[in-house]
Amino acid sequence: MSAEITDIVKHSPAFRAGVKKGDILISVNGHEISDVLDYMFYSAEDRTELLLKRGEKTLKKVVVKSEYDDLGLEFASFLMDDKRTCCNKCIFCFIDQMPPGMRETLYFKDDDARLSFLHGNYVTLTNLNDKDIQRIIDMRLNINVSVHTTNPELRCRMMNNRFAGEKLKYLKMIADSGLMMNCQIVCCPGINDGAELERTLDDLSELMPNIQSVAVVPVGLTKYREGLFPLTCFDKSGAENVICIIENKQRECLEKYGTRMAFPADEFYLLAERELPPTEFYEDYPQYENGVGLMRSLYDEVVQAMEGCNENISKRKVTVATGKAAEDFHRMLAEMIMDRFPQVEIRVEGIINRFFGETITVAGLVTAGDLIDQLKGTELGDELIIPKVMLKADEPVFLDDLTVSDAEKALDIKISSSANDGFEYLDKILGISY
Ligand code: SF4
């Protein structure tokens, strides 16, 4: 495959070597390039020979640079190839349970091993073959895998894919090659919890030390499940059982391998009404992006931030809005902050998710519509603080495509968002800006 160079970074190594916008890249160090991984892998050396087509001419350019420095070439698409879509129809797929009419990109079911390496996405391994796995091994790419269960027959049923079971063999191939994997299990009551979860954790621990971590997250069910596989949400005792199974396995792994390996998502502790585990429980937070340890880390940082805060804080009243699940947790943080700063009044509002359905309680799925409907006419104080996860990563836009400024106008209040970072959270609440 050849790829057109759509832009070139000024004064980059390739720019200095005379590569031009519009050139067609044919090969790098004699290797044809099929995608961005090939491009990154073969151009890592300090002396890189590019074979290019410019008009009718074929030419060679030698780029000299430090090892692993980027050449400075840009292509029409980031992957230099189409994104790989998934070939499953998982019984718990969140995308299948979304209401119609949302932005198109939210319906895209990606399952692309390249995005696992580049962005940390989780992949099921179901659309990979032996050659793809060998490439991952040859390139030494660590990968994040959605395992769900190691029972092959159950995996086929859960993913509605008759090949999903046999693809589990790749876990062992990857582990035997010495690469590391982070894994996730979407846990569904009565399906892959209980004895099945024990089996999965046992099987994964057989691959230690090449399993870096395993996040177990509860299935999320929206109100848009008509015609889909009948699933239920975890209740208090179901969540308690999941925690017990994981904590038993953790004790064994800690003794054998010096790491707990598996971690329950924060939601399980909320559902089970259990106290948050201590800081050391989360080790170095390997599954933070998967919602594991967010509350513990936020709590610890707020405590630290309060200890180090010597600012003069003015009288102020703010509202913190979050999802229903974390409402009590934020109330506890608010009380702690108000004890230390009595001049600050904090009100916490847990927003019921009417958009997706009331069983969806996480902050990241709260829409502006629900925020506005439920807070309109409420005395919100000087500022409304929302978690950053309610917004698109790169734009102040909610899931229902309303913007922060739409919500500000509707509620007639300044809205600011805070990352899950106790220092930023405290600054926003106290009105400290630098
Ligand atoms: S792998 Fe399963 S859960 Fe993920 S997008 Fe595909 S169908 Fe949905």
Residue range 31-55: average pLDDT? 90
Ligand 1 pocket residue status of 111, Cβ below 6 Å:
yes
Identify which of 91, 109, 110, 163 to mutate to test ligand 1's pocket (most ligand atoms within 8 A of the CB).
109
Give the residue, by CA position, lying nearest to ligand 1 atom 3: 93
| CB 25 within 8 Å of CB 72 | no
Mean pLDDT, to the nearest integer, of 91-98?
Answer: 96
Ligand 1 centroid – CA 122 distance (Å):
10
State whether the beta carbon of 97 lies less than 6 angstroms from ligand 1. no
Asked if residue 1 has pLDDT above 80, the reply is no
- The answer to whether 150 and 182 are in contact (CB under 8 A) is no
268, 289, 140: which is closest to 213 by C-alpha? Answer: 289
* Residue 413 phi, psi dihedral angles, 5° rounding: -155, 155
CA of residue 229 to ligand 1 center, whole Å: 14
Return d(Cα 3, Cα 80) in angstroms, integer: 7
Answer whether 123 contacts ligand 1 (Cβ < 6 A). Answer: no
Q: pLDDT tens across 268-289, in order?
A: 999 999 999 999 999 999 999 9
Rounded-to-integer distance, Cα 57 and Cα 404, Å: 52
State which ligand 1 atom lies nearest to the alpha carbon of 186: 3
- Protein residue whose Cα sits closest to atom 2 of ligand 1: 90
For 52-71, letters b (16+ CB in 10 Å) and e give beeeeeeeebebebeeeeeb
Top mutation candidate among 85, 97, 106, 111 for ligand 1, by most atoms within 8 Å of CB = 111
195 lines ligand 1 (CB under 6 A): no
CA of 126 to the centre of ligand 1 (A): 10
Q: What is the pLDDT of residue 3?
A: 87
β-pair partners for 319: 347, 384
What is the structure's pLDDT at 312? Answer: 86
pLDDT digits (tens, 9 = 90+) for 121-150: 999 999 999 999 999 999 898 899 999 999
Which structure tokens are listed for 109? 């079911």
pLDDT value at 217 more than 90: yes
pLDDT band (50, 70, 90) for residue 67: confident
Q: Bigger pLDDT: 161 or 36? A: 161
Q: What are phi and psi of 212, to 5 degrees?
A: -75, -40
Nearest protein Cα to ligand 1, atom 5: 109
Q: Is the CB of 93 under 6 A from ligand 1?
A: yes
pLDDT score, position 374: 98
Cβ atoms 322, 304 nearer than 8 A = no
Tell me the mean pLDDT in the region 191-209.
Answer: 98
* Ligand 1 atom with minimal separation from the 88 CA: 7
Cα distance between residue 345 and residue 165, in whole Å: 54
**Taking the alpha carbons of 421, 78, 115, 323 in that order, is the dihedral positive or negative?**
positive
Structure tokens at 287: 């599954």
Distance from Cα 109 to the centre of ligand 1, integer Å:
6
351-366 per-position pLDDT tens digit: 999 999 999 999 999 9
Backbone φ and ψ of 161, nearest 5°:
-145, 115
Residue 84: pLDDT band (50, 70, 90) is confident
* Across 59-78, average pLDDT: 89
Query: What are 306's two structure tokens?
Result: 């309060």
Whether the link from the prior residue into 286 is cis, omega within 30° of 0, is: no
pLDDT digits (tens, 9 = 90+) for 241-275: 999 999 999 999 999 999 999 999 999 999 999 99
Alpha-helical runs (H) found in 125-193: 130-138, 152-159, 169-176
Q: What is the pLDDT of residue 173?
A: 97
Pocket lining: 126 vs ligand 1, CB cutoff 6 Å: no
Amino acid letter at 239? A
Tell whether the model's pLDDT for residue 434 goes beyond 80: no
> Residue 97 pLDDT > 90, yes or no?
yes
**pLDDT value at residue 229:** 97
pLDDT value at 72 more than 80 = yes
124 lines ligand 1 (CB under 6 A): yes
- Phi, psi for 401 (deg, rounded to 5): 70, 0
How much distance in Å is there from the Cα of 116 to the middle of ligand 1?
Answer: 14
Do residues 165 and 152 make contact, with C-beta atoms less than 8 angstroms apart? yes
pLDDT for the residue numbered 7: 93
Whose structure tokens read 């698109």? 392
Average of per-residue pLDDT across 32-37: 88
Phi, psi of 345, rounded to the nearest 5 degrees: -105, 125
DSSP string, 378-434: S---SEEEEEGGGB-SSSSBBTTS-BHHHHHHHHTSEEEEE-S-HHHHHHHHHT---
Find out whether the peptide bond into 100 is cis, omega within 30 degrees of 0.
no
Q: How confident is the model at residue 387 (pLDDT cuts 50, 70, 90)?
A: very high
| Position in ligand 1 atom list of the atom nearest CA 159 | 2
- pLDDT, residue 35, reads 87
Residue predicted with more confidence, 291 or 248: 248
Please tell me whether residue 249 adopts helix, strand or coil conformation.
helix
Contacts of 310 (CB under 8 A, 6+ apart): none
pLDDT one-digit tens code per residue, 297-311: 999 999 999 999 987
The answer to whether 73 and 61 have CB atoms below 8 angstroms apart is no
Number of the ligand 1 atom closest to the C-alpha atom of 96: 8
Of 207-216, 355-364, 425-434, the range with the lowest mean pLDDT is 425-434
